[in-house]
Structure 1
Amino acid sequence: MSNLAITPQWHDEINQVETNEVIMGGANGNANLATKQLAENLLWLKQQFETKKTESYKVGDIYMTTIDHPDPAAVKAHHGYGTWVRYAAGRAPVGFSDNTSDIAEYKTMGNTFGENTHKLKIEEMPSHNFNINFVTGGIGGTGRPATESTSSAAANLKTDSLGSDVPHNNIQPSIVTGYWLRTA
């Protein structure tokens, strides 16, 4: 017994032995022809898959991963194709919006905005009041509020100071993943 010699090629039709045909063996015999054609089709398909890597990420696509690729070359080696750059480093992605009620920052693809820490400005603070408690009856019975001064000038009252004037954390709960943008 020997093996069939096959060449990778595509056959649109597969031979069928008819009932009135004489069955012949050998390399060119009709007993082996259908098997040879199917084997050649399979070998041709195998070569197509091996020579044409499927590029599931097109130029402009983003690859998101939990693999800690150290550099673009490692991403290329992982996929077997493409030129890659790290994307959105230290930033959370936000979906593009054309909703009229959304802020302008959401309406430009690739726009960056936001900050890790934020120091409140006066206009960002909630509206609030302070109560001042002071003693009437004055100093020396003059009828004016008790102050540090015994002069007849207006009283300079101060409230206690609160807060440390330090920027606060402004980060949503997050998980770090790798984002890579295919550029070529």
Structure 2
Amino acid sequence: MANLPETPQWEEGIYQIEVSDPVLGGPDGISNRQAKQLASRTSYLRQKVEKSGTDLAAHIAAADPHTQYAPKASPTFTGTPTAPTPANSDNSKKLATTEFVAKALAALAGSAPETLDTLKELADALGNDPNFATTVLNKLAEKLAKDQNGADIPDPALFVKKPWFRGSGKDGGCYRFIECFRVVKNPNRRRRICHFAMGKSSSHSNFE
């Protein structure tokens, strides 16, 4: 007695033995046709199950079994990926969306005028001086102190040669005339050397 040969293939249908069919055995006998078809189906399914088990094991062992998807490490996205926008004060490792960056830049610029709302414009305004604060402090240190009453003037001889101005006769917020003085040898006296009034000028040599 022998076994029916099995072919691992899917049989689309199972033959129905008719009442008129003769009883005929053997591998291709009509009496064994149904059993042979069912055996082929069973062999086909068994082959698929065994292969799926092997594929599943390989899938589990693979470092990146889904190559059609972006990897978790350093992914490269295509299309238009989106993400939730963190709060303005967020300082975590969350994704910084374009909306988050735009808000941060707006907060940095604040209400600065348009001509000073970029780092380039600020640098130009400061003369591209990386030590601007120190430069300003050094310049301020060169200023004369009011409480010294001129005692800290670096070059008194040169200073007395330079005229100084005083506006007087203020009327309705405007000066009616301006007087120009020069310091003379006596520190308590000064010489008025010119007088501007209503657009006209005149020289004087009197003392005050």
TM range (shorter): 0.3 to 0.5
Determine which structure has more spread, i.e. the larger CA radius of gyration.
2
- Larger strand fraction of residues: 2
Answer 1 or 2: higher relative contact order, Cα 8 Å, separation at least 6. 1
- Larger helix fraction of residues: 2
The TM-score, its normalising length taken from structure 1, stands at 0.33
The TM-score, its normalising length taken from structure 2, stands at 0.30
